Structure 1
């Protein structure tokens, strides 16, 4: 099935380092329309995402991220109800779950400590930009909480229409100038835990 989609997107960056901010603010908002007004598929979607980072001192930092989503009308085919999972929208500890719905939001709070800051020099290259590899390592603890509303709930999925939460500890490794790897051990309210590896995400 094919149908047109129109999107307006606004992004705001005022952070010290976009791939891994430790100070400043980032915002991303999009408004989209799927389908024409007289088509069988018609949906308005609003998504707003923010990230705020505060340095507590030279080594300790706090980050708070929020995401909110609304789709209208609420009655939508399943293909238009994807939300958490299967994309860059997820709660840590629920990576293996897809939690779909037409409205909802979540927040992520992270407390980090800088453990290491160094650099590796590469003598075999003459390219200045890659002759030195800066490395920063952060330890962290984090907590997530969210809620996803669905009109029709699949009985096999009991994560809709309820508060979900998770937490964990991890290591963030920042390499080069735009690459951050995140090794995280997360657990959720279903008494499940796991070790996950993520690439950079500023929201």
Structure 2
């Protein structure tokens, strides 16, 4: 009942529009050939065969898994463009291809072949890394005085599409402000039916500087020449794709951390009770229904996601919390280059006591209320609502012939003017003594900006915002919505 009510609210806010989804920069590079006039002769077209070209590495079955069209199927002629667009987007969302082309060819009467033309991405990235360790670029630029020592650098070795099966292997070696070494491997399908997937990850991290508390909604860091915190984590997850757009995931992870004695002395709540060690298992179940056109930057469709997380399974008695979170988002094309989206996200935490180490409200990751880029709002429960109106004023694709590597020659570019109004609420009863300006009250942020969508799902957001504290500023972020 609650989810149905929320869905109704989101649909109402977006003024449901029957227009068909239209691609932005990414799917614009995935052309759909319009149905010819000859389709008017009969009410339907039968798909005779499906041919695929351009998949030099990717196995055919990985591509066919995304289709809801099969040889022998009949397509109503007035829905051909819609069906091809939907299937094109699903192939593109595998993140295996730069461009995707779907067209009907060799038409004889009411029978035709479906042809899928692909251009594969570059799959091996031995990428040198130079990353900021702060929450976002704005915090580093304004509050950390553009300190170049607050970076981590090293090498990330990423092999996408291992064996042509969309598997992913990643090795990470980082040093500098943070030392981190990790290994992860993801197999989207491990069964013949291509419904079950498996992944695992292991990571070890050393910190010589950590945020040990939040004061005035800003992180206080302690720095040392010695290691202040060591963390080890491992995780395994099993995912089932029950339908085209529905995913169920169960993940079990183990977390172990050790602090230098200095940290619990100045903040006994970091691990609770002045402890300098923390160990716990975490069990999480997530359901996601994702029916958007392009996952990286949706313009049409909807997402529903809910999860239950149990911190601590009774083995170590260090942590005992149960959290439920939900996300609902609607994206609509309004016509004439205008788009709108509404996002609603929330968390409710059942607990006895909450360690500061895993206290996360708004301001972390994608849980950001625009206009509050400088702040973190620690708490147990929160609600976040983001509302955006967009106008696309650039939508193009360029072929850069001077680039020697074919996978980097195609430059998609889309730009959007944005107007937004965000609201939020963080409920807190543990950290209010030194963080009470924005918690336990409704807050808002509003402003205008420009979103840039380009190479390999890169998103750059430039915003000018005003928050409920009447503070205003210009902010740059590089994160997606979800």
Is the structural similarity TM-score above 0.5?
yes
Aligned twin of 1:6:
283
Larger radius of gyration: 2
* Aligned counterparts, 1:15-94, within 5 A: 15-37=292-314, 39-73=317-351, 75-94=353-372
Aligned twin of 1:192:
471
Instruction: Tell me: CA distance 1:91–1:163, structure 2 relative to 1, closer, same or farther (3 Å).
Output: same
Do residues 132 (structure 1) and 398 (structure 2) align?
no
Tell me how far apart the structure 2 counterparts of residues 100 and 142 of structure 1 sit (CA, whole Å).
Answer: 24
Deviation, 1:155, is 4.2
Report Cα offsets for 1:102-136 as digits up to 9, x if no partner. 11211000000011112222112465443220111
Q: Which structure: greater helix fraction?
A: 2
Say which SS state the counterpart of residue 3 (structure 1) adopts.
strand
Deviation, 1:99, is 0.5
Aligned twin of 2:106:
none
Deviation, 1:191, is 1.3
Deviation, 1:176, is 2.6
Say which SS state the counterpart of residue 161 (structure 1) adopts.
coil
Aligned twin of 2:385:
107
Aligned twin of 2:394:
116
Q: Which runs of 5+ in 2 are unaligned?
A: 1-277
Q: Matched residue pairs, number? A: 203
Report Cα offsets for 1:25-57 as digits up to 9, x if no partner. 123322111112362420001111122101110
Instruction: Tell me: CA distance 1:51–1:74, structure 2 relative to 1, closer, same or farther (3 Å).
Output: farther
* Contact 1:18–1:202 (Cα < 8 Å) also in 2: no
Q: Which structure: greater strand fraction?
A: 1
Greater mean deviation of Cα atoms: 165-174 or 68-77: 68-77
Tell me how far apart the structure 2 counterparts of residues 199 and 11 of structure 1 sit (CA, whole Å).
Answer: 24
Q: Give the alignment's TM-score, normalised by structure 2.
A: 0.40
Greater mean deviation of Cα atoms: 193-202 or 167-176: 193-202
Tell me how far apart the structure 1 counterparts of residues 405 and 303 of structure 2 sit (CA, whole Å).
Answer: 31
Tell me how far apart the structure 2 counterparts of residues 129 and 26 of structure 1 sit (CA, whole Å).
Answer: 30
Q: Which runs of 5+ in 1 are unaligned?
A: none
